Structure 1
Amino acid sequence: MPSEPVSRISAVVFDMDGVLTDTEAVWDDVRRGLAAEDGAAWPDDATDRMMGMSTAEWSEYLATTVGLHGDAAAVAERAVSRVAERYREHLPLMPGAVAAVERMASRWPLGLASSSPRRLIDAILDMLDLTPLFRATVSTEEVQAGKPAPDGYRRACELLGVEPATAVAVEDSSNGLRSASAAGMRVVAVPHPGHPPAGDALALAAVRLGSLDELTPELVASLG
């Protein structure tokens, strides 16, 4: 009887906002609210442009391009504090998020590469009791450039001790898909219905799923 093929996948790395947590709308609402408070017009492409940016990048964009009061550091502190407050009130999750993490952790070491600040990453994983399941977590605050640059995903793979070519990334956004692909990883797209990725970014994914319920060990193993 023929033996089952051995998968060459060595790790799975999740994005957080839009993949595990349904928090893109929270970030957008907070940033728009700050702009309104400061009397700054909201550019039509601002939301899409900031997806995947590091804290330093999006706060600089809000301060210099959108025109919020204060420098980038002050803008970041205002925004992150308000987002944290919203999370304490209610942390919205994507359907099947916790179960998907648990399924992947039963077979592979897990990483997380997120554009959220470190303090929010740690708080969310603690709130969900998922901290022990992630061997490596990276905030784009901690690398040179945010998504779509590959830095965050490459750093996650480095911390996991695996080659990016043998790791799978789970992403939802255009810049996230581009980031993971540029890192040389196999990419699973789980598009957020409220913020669907651009066609060219979606084309970079090895497979597109309708929800996290479809993210199974069998599917991920087949990508190897």
Structure 2
Amino acid sequence: MSKGVIFDMDGVLVESEEFYYQRRIRFFEEKGIVPGSDNLLDHVGKTDRGIWEMLIPHDSHLRQALHKEYKTYREAHPIDYPDVLRKEVPEVLGALKEQNIKVGLASSSARKEINQMLSATGLAPAFDYVLSGEELKESKPNPEIYLKTASALGCADYLAVEDSVLGIRSAKAAGLYTVALKQSYPVDQSESDIVITDLRTLLNMI
């Protein structure tokens, strides 16, 4: 039976969620604007569009203007992907390849961010298929991102690896066995099938 593993990116492969959150909050503080939410958990697992609709919920013109400014701010304050890459990721991805297991990446992040992470860490060859939520009409918790990734990989059986509530719901709605990677901050992962503390545990589950 052919098997596939589909990974989320932020919070799973890279410990980036807190960096992204802190960068947005600093931007709003420097602009002297109160964001729609300064709760970390409200920022986790959403697409870029979803995050900005939350940050500026009632003024689309201000949202568009700030978002444009933030793109410049983000370029000036980049994340160091190799620094936030979980140390066990290369080992785990390499072991999956050795077992001829198809590997997919299904992330709510923008395609540009995904490509930057893959390039900076050298992980691009490890993935058989990569999909960004911004390329879909609806991203997580809609199951489309997982359904499309699973279809592209063409396996008989799948395992999804997630961290956020929205991501877990997306994978479960797609009918995938869903593993949640425990985070350093409190997040409800009770809807997953199992919670693990180290990605290497996956190698005993395949």
Query: Shorter-normalised TM-score: what interval?
Result: 0.7 to 0.9
Following TM superposition, by how much is the alpha carbon of 1:146 offset from its aligned partner in structure 2, in angstroms?
2.2
**After superposition, what is the alpha-carbon deviation per residue over 1:97-146, rounded to whole angstroms, capped at 9, x for unaligned?**
22122222222111001111111111111222111111111111011212
Which of 166, 181, 199 matches 2:172? 181
Aligned to 1:170: 161
Aligned to 1:205: 192
Percent of aligned pairs with the same amino acid: 29
Following TM superposition, by how much is the alpha carbon of 1:83 offset from its aligned partner in structure 2, in angstroms?
6.4
Counterparts of 1:105 and 1:16, CA distance in 2: 18
Amino acid aligned to 2:94? E
Given the alignment of the two structures, is residue 147 of structure 1 paired with residue 140 of structure 2, yes or no? yes
Aligned to 2:63: 71
Decide whether aligned partners of structure 1 residues 203 and 71 sit closer, same or farther in structure 2, where only a CA change above 3 A counts.
Answer: closer
Would the aligned equivalents of 2:35 and 2:55 in 1 still touch at CA under 8 Å? no
Structure 2 unmatched ranges of 5 or more: none
Counterparts of 2:81 and 2:97, CA distance in 1: 28
Counterparts of 1:36 and 1:69, CA distance in 2: 19
Counterparts of 2:81 and 2:179, CA distance in 1: 31
Would the aligned equivalents of 1:16 and 1:112 in 2 still touch at CA under 8 Å? yes
**After superposition, what is the alpha-carbon deviation per residue over 1:48-106, rounded to whole angstroms, capped at 9, x for unaligned?**
223222122212222335x7983347516625861684224863122312212222222
Decide whether aligned partners of structure 1 residues 155 and 209 sit closer, same or farther in structure 2, where only a CA change above 3 A counts.
Answer: same
**After superposition, what is the alpha-carbon deviation per residue over 1:14-62, rounded to whole angstroms, capped at 9, x for unaligned?**
0111111010011101111122122222455643223222122212222
Q: How does 1:35-184 map to 2 (within 5 A)?
A: 35-43=28-36, 46-64=39-57, 70-72=62-64, 74-75=66-67, 78-79=70-71, 82=74, 85-88=77-80, 91-107=83-99, 108-162=101-155, 166-184=157-175
Would the aligned equivalents of 1:13 and 1:167 in 2 still touch at CA under 8 Å? yes
Decide whether aligned partners of structure 1 residues 99 and 20 sit closer, same or farther in structure 2, where only a CA change above 3 A counts.
Answer: same
Cα RMSD of the aligned pairs, angstroms, is 2.6
Q: TM-score, normalized by length of structure 2?
A: 0.86
Aligned to 1:3: none
Q: Count the aligned residue pairs.
A: 205
Structure 1 unmatched ranges of 5 or more: 1-7
* Aligned-partner SS, 1:215: helix
Would the aligned equivalents of 1:113 and 1:140 in 2 still touch at CA under 8 Å? yes
Counterparts of 1:204 and 1:83, CA distance in 2: 36
Given the alignment of the two structures, is residue 214 of structure 1 paired with residue 206 of structure 2, yes or no? no
Q: Which shifted more, 79-88 or 204-213?
A: 79-88
Decide whether aligned partners of structure 1 residues 185 and 81 sit closer, same or farther in structure 2, where only a CA change above 3 A counts.
Answer: farther
Would the aligned equivalents of 1:30 and 1:83 in 2 still touch at CA under 8 Å? no
